[in-house]
Amino acid sequence: MSIDLTGIYNDNEFYTSHYVSALLGDDLKGLFSEWNRRAKEEGKHAPSNLLAKLAPRFFKLLSQVKLQKGDSRGSAEADEELKTSLKDFHYELLTALDYPWSPCVRHAEDGREISLLCEIAKADGAPELWVIAAEPGRQDAFDLDPLEFETGLNGDEPENLIRFINRAIFSRSEPPRWLLVLAPSQVLLLDRSKWNESRRLRFDLDEILSRKEASTLSAMAALLHRDSICPADGLALLDSLDENSHRHAHAVSEDLKYALRECIELLGNDAADYLRYRRKKGVFSGEEQIDEAQLSLECLRWMYRILFLFYIEARPELGYVPMNVDAYRRGYSLESLRELEILPLTSEEARNGDYIHQSLEIHFSMIPLCQ
């Protein structure tokens, strides 16, 4: 199942990139079907529809934020009005995702206060998920990364939110596993087990709510909903997705490992045949005997060059190769060679020629990192 993830960012591979782009939709379609069933049979609004209805209030809030940031003098009245609007929007956002609105205060190990909008606890009372609001200070741009905000969550002096999370939240003797950060224009989902690697899911509300793409809203709802993260019983959907992501990554790694080994063997055998039958060299003994270790190394280098080329051609935004230029794409790219590779070889010259080898050599010479 194809889903549009525009506005949803899998920062530093919260889940593996290939899993998110190719397989996530299939793992979510069961949940989407259940939402549709409830809507038809029970008259319940799907969470994605509830999110879509937040758009008018969000863009009103965004206008207030921009207006306040444009006023360098500031105004206590305007600040209070903005805070009220932000609180109202966060209330509706959490309600749409089935979280209770339960503001409370918890304490860090050093006694600092932590203001929460919501807390979900485990059966034994230990915290499982916290929701906090990241409000930009007057010196912060509203569209910056919320983790860079100088925030006053501790009720004291403003502090960078990253440091605050490190020192006051995840360092507690009994920290929550999940942290939901609500900012004026973004929502962040942090998992304590992935926090040290800066892995997170990030949702750009401006992008998502302006487009109102149904599959994007459904994906956002599925990834942030209370039942997906902290279900009353059973395995959380996000843990199931994580398990599937790891399983897929392992399977891909295994497949790639064996495919790479097979390719190196084929290259090595072909090189030996070329030296033996075309160059008439005695490759098994004497002064011209093949150095097996050196041959393996050269074949490995070739394969890594080809893998690198596949990668940079699949990511034209990196700017290494001009895939948007017809001359390159049709005349030099691996894409063009792949089309040739599947053609039937009907002549002796075609079966024993070295056109692809020569083309690859030219290709390698054009890209400094492959030389």
Contact 101, 118 (CB under 8 A): yes
* DSSP H helices in the chain: 17-22, 24-42, 47-52, 55-70, 76-96, 161-164, 192-195, 205-211, 214-224, 226-229, 237-273, 292-314, 326-331, 334-341, 348-352, 355-366
Q: What is the pLDDT of residues 132-163, one digit of tens each?
A: 998 766 555 566 788 877 765 545 556 788 98
Lowest mean pLDDT among 116-125, 210-219, 255-264: 255-264
pLDDT at 69: 61
Predicted pLDDT at 93: 97
- 306 compared with 179, residue with greater pLDDT: 179
Q: What is the pLDDT of residue 111?
A: 87
- Which of 9-23, 254-268, 353-367 has the lowest average pLDDT? 254-268
In this structure, what token pair is assigned to residue 175?
A: 């920290």
pTM above 0.75, yes or no: no
* Ramachandran area for residue 308 (φ above 0: left; ψ -120 to 50: alpha; else beta): alpha
Q: Residue 258 CB: number of other CB atoms within 10 A? A: 10
Cβ neighbours for 220, distance < 8 A, ≥ 6 positions apart? 7, 8, 48, 51, 203, 208
- Is residue 70's pLDDT more than 80? no
Whole-number Å distance between alpha carbons of 281 and 290: 10
pLDDT at 254: 56
Cα(248)–Cα(105) distance, rounded to whole angstroms? 40
What residue segments make up the domains of the chain, in order of their start? 8-234, 291-370
Q: Is the pLDDT of residue 285 over 80?
A: no
- The four Cα atoms 274, 280, 284, 290 give a dihedral, to 10 degrees, of -60
Higher pLDDT, 338 or 166: 166
Q: Is the pLDDT of residue 12 over 80?
A: yes
Kind of pairing between the strands at 178-182 and 127-133 = parallel
> Is a pLDDT exceeding 90 seen at residue 18?
no
**Mean residue pLDDT across the chain:** 83
pLDDT (mean) for 71-96: 82
Torsion angle, alpha carbons of 114, 115, 118, 120, to 10 = 10
Would you state the structure tokens that stand for residue 69, as one six-digit string? 């940031």
* CA-wise closest residue to 370 among 306, 296, 297, 299: 306
Q: What integer pLDDT is reported at residue 347 of this predicted model?
A: 79
Q: Name the pLDDT band for 59 (thresholds 50, 70, 90).
A: very high
